[in-house]
Structure 1
């Protein structure tokens, strides 16, 4: 991950994430010794950098990481007060840790009803920042992409605070370099990374994704534990082509074995798999095919069959009710957490054989 030098240390960093992954992100920050957690918020974790802020760009469960530049009370829902408040916010921004800035672009989000849209907020603080720095401002209002050299700023209004953040890296962390090919229903990489952490993969483990899609889960798991062995199956040739293209050329990582197969009749021996990680086709974005189209419960019976006695399966499900078939097929859930994926609520579940 290339960064905009000279970021070295920062008084406070803010990592943004998918809703529901805040605890997983905080755990990754602590596990990697990156700093001390100072606040957990809506889709964000605040922490003081232990060493170099550059180390935070290696976070796998984060969508993005920023320096905290300024914070003040939320200006509220009225558009009348917006420009004055956000001009003051830009004036308060601490730029001591900022690199050379050639231009400004801002992405904003807010909670609650407002008498303005996000573009109004972006333009108010962005124009004030650009004026203060004497550089151009790029508005997102017309949908055009900003010039690549422009610094990325993030504005959040959560009903209590207005917070202004400056991105550390030159692009959001969730944009993985390997993910050049995508398919419908492809998994968000930070969610895949959280699932890989939840799977507790050890060196030597054989890790399976029976519905591998574009390979995101297996590739994220390989980044986490390169000393394991990875196998992926999918019934769709287009998915396998995307997965092979994404996995190709991953230096320093194990080869991912990708083959065509039906997840309802896996070509594997009983109790031969240590870990399963999967985002099955539940019919929301991608419809099941093959044997699963006729009997979705076959997925759970196959997972139970191939899992070793001490195995773990981490599966993304649409709702807890989907676990009924898993329980009937000899699996028990030991962890369940809600996340928001592609605008809908889903659940990460860790299952073990009974």
Structure 2
């Protein structure tokens, strides 16, 4: 069996590292937002990917014309569809296409879905009822067709029942924790915790502060939360091993308190509270560089369609 993992753009190498380090399989190939791998463990436990699906077909020779989609339809006709779908299931198809074509994602979805019993189209922005989701990706001349392995996308975390504007995507938070090397023995801080997503994706003794922690309190258990300004953290000097932070960018969330003018007070305060061996993972818009820390690694990604960077920092 071969599986296709979908990722946030830029997190493909992080997903590969998680698959390898957790001995969940071996990676066959990587391309835009996807990793194909052969599983040897429970792939549904992956944290840094958006979703995982079973690869059921690969179709080469897809060009730029709508007529090329007949190859996709013919490939579905050759599958034992009834064995994949079962009986009485609602079926939807989600497609993504890299590069300019004379067809759009809905054309791709309908080319595949029209061959599947129980198909509900997304065309026109309609959200189909819950059911079995097929995934189609086209990059270059190669199309891949896969069927979701779990009942829901992996990025939907059961703990996340409350949200806030600008809330962090859980696989991105998980990637930040992995890049920072967070472990059970660490004291982990998020000084701008929002809905608590970074802490929900981390082991260790977790501490979160924000000007409003109600969403984080609804989502998390076993975490120390308190209302505090990120420019004046109620922590002792040198008391934190790891920091995961997605500070307000001034887009979905306006900075407040001591960060209203700029983020400089945040970086000064983090320098005070971290240990000498601490690591900081900070998600910032592209072009913004954190002060007072040494950059160990930069991981460019895209968040809500915008370029961003996960900065891995040391003292």
Unaligned runs of 5+ in 1: 1-10, 249-254
2:251 to 247, 266, 284: 284
CA apart distance, 1:286: 1.3
Structure 1 residue aligned with 2:263: 296
- Find the residue that maps to 2:270 and give its secondary structure: helix
Q: Is the 8 A contact 2:59 2:72 kept in 1?
A: no
Equivalent of residue 241 in structure 2, options 245, 263, 274: 274
Show structure 2 runs of 5+ residues with no match. Answer: none
* Counterpart Cα distance in 2 of 1:97 and 1:39: 27
Aligned to 1:73: 60
Q: What pairs with 1:119-130 in structure 2 (closer than 5 Å)?
A: 119-128=106-115, 130=116
2:219 pairs with one of 246, 250, 262: 246
User: C-alpha separation between the residues in 2 aligned to 1:177 and 1:292?
Assistant: 31
Q: Secondary structure at the match of 1:258?
A: strand
- Using the alignment, how far apart are the partners of 2:82 and 2:26 within structure 1? 21
CA RMSD of aligned residues (A): 1.6
Which shows bigger deviation, 60-69 or 200-209?
200-209
Alpha-carbon spacing, 1:295–1:112, altered in 2? closer, same or farther (3 Å):
closer
Equivalent positions of 1:313-332 (< 5 A) are 313-323=280-290, 326=291, 329=292, 331-332=293-294
Is the 1:270–1:307 contact (alpha carbons within 8 Å) kept by the matching residues of 2? yes
Alpha carbons of structure 1 residues 346 and 94: separation in structure 2 relative to 1, 3 Å:
farther
Q: Does 1:261 align with 2:251?
A: no
| Partner of residue 127 from structure 2, selected from 120, 125, 145 | 145
Tell me, what secondary structure is at the counterpart of 1:119?
A: helix
Q: How far off is 1:60 after superposition? A: 0.4
Show CA shifts across 1:181-203 (max 9, x none). Answer: 11110000000000011121233
Structure 1 stretches of 4+ moved >6 Å: none
Report how far residue 316 of structure 1 moved. 0.6
The CA distance in 2 between the partners of 1:143 and 1:46, in whole Å, is 29
Contact 1:89 1:164 in 2 (8 A): no
**Aligned pairs, number:** 314
Between 267-276 and 84-93, the greater mean CA deviation after superposition: 84-93
For 1:214 and 1:109, the matched residues in 2 are separated by 29
- Structure 1 equivalent of residue 21 of structure 2: 31
Match of residue 211 from structure 1:
192
Q: C-alpha distance in 2, partners of 1:276/1:234?
A: 14
SS in 2 for 1:294: coil
Q: CA deviation at 1:143?
A: 2.8
TM-score normalised over the length of structure 2: 0.95
Among 140, 157, 160, the alignment partner of 2:141 is 160
Equivalent position to 1:177, from 136, 145, 158:
158
2:199 alignment partner, SS class? helix
Structure 1 residue corresponding to 2:99, chosen from 83, 98, 112: 112
Alpha-carbon contact 2:10-2:302 (below 8 Å) kept? yes
- Partners in 1 of 2:86 and 2:39 — Cα distance? 21
Shift of 1:90: 0.9
Tell me the TM-score normalized by structure 1: 0.85
Q: 1:141 to 1:279 in 2, by over 3 A?
A: same
CA–CA distance in 1 between the matches of 2:80 and 2:281? 42
Quick check: 1:22 aligned with 2:3?
Answer: no
The answer to whether 1:42 aligns with 2:32 is yes
How many Å apart are 1:20 and its aligned residue? 0.5
**Bigger Cα displacement from structure 2, 100-109 vs 160-169:** 100-109
- Which among 57, 60, 82 is matched to residue 44 of structure 2? 57
